[in-house]
Amino acid sequence: MADLLETGSNWLQGQRKKHATREVTYRQGVNSAPVQATVGRTVFEQDDGSGVIVRTEIRDYLIDAVDLVLGGQAVLPERGDRIEETNGGKKYAYEVMPLGSEPHWRYSDPYRKTLRIHTKHIATEDA
């Protein structure tokens, strides 16, 4: 018997990808590829305890695991990977990093279909 929860989750992920994604460029080392991603946003502040505060914008990207193919191979996110978005003539670069006690990525659903990738804004330049 089919797992109804999995079927429903897959349908929802399909709808998310169909209606709530934009194209971004995913870079890992020398490889890059355009992928469809759903964007989330949070603002975050960090203090290292020595009084030096570094503020950064955090973005989570939801990407179908099967879509993350670089250099002809399916890959998983690594720290230091870059995700680039172009918007309004500007290119925004985000770097894959851990978020607090969370690792830099995790599956966002129980069926390992969608990657939730934590990133932080590191640069803006003219597109």
Partner 1 sequence: MSLIVDVAEALVVELNAGSFSQTLSAQRHYVPSFELPDMANLHVSVVPKGMAITNSDRNRNSHDVQIDVAVQKKFEAGDAAEIDPLMDLVEEIADFFRLRRLSSYPNAHWIKTEHKPIYAQEHWDELRQFTSVLTFTFRVVR
Q: Give the residues lining the site for partner 1 (CB under 8 A).
A: 46, 48-57, 79-80, 95, 97-100, 120-124
- Closer CB to partner 1, residue 2 or residue 43? 43
Shortest reach from residue 111's CB to partner 1, in Å: 29
CB-facing half-sphere around the CA of 67: CA atoms within 13 A:
22
Shortest reach from residue 28's CB to partner 1, in Å: 13
Shortest reach from residue 88's CB to partner 1, in Å: 17
Single-letter amino acid, residue 56: T
- Closer CB to partner 1, residue 87 or residue 124? 124
- Closer CB to partner 1, residue 72 or residue 100? 100
57, 97 Cβ separation under 8 angstroms: no
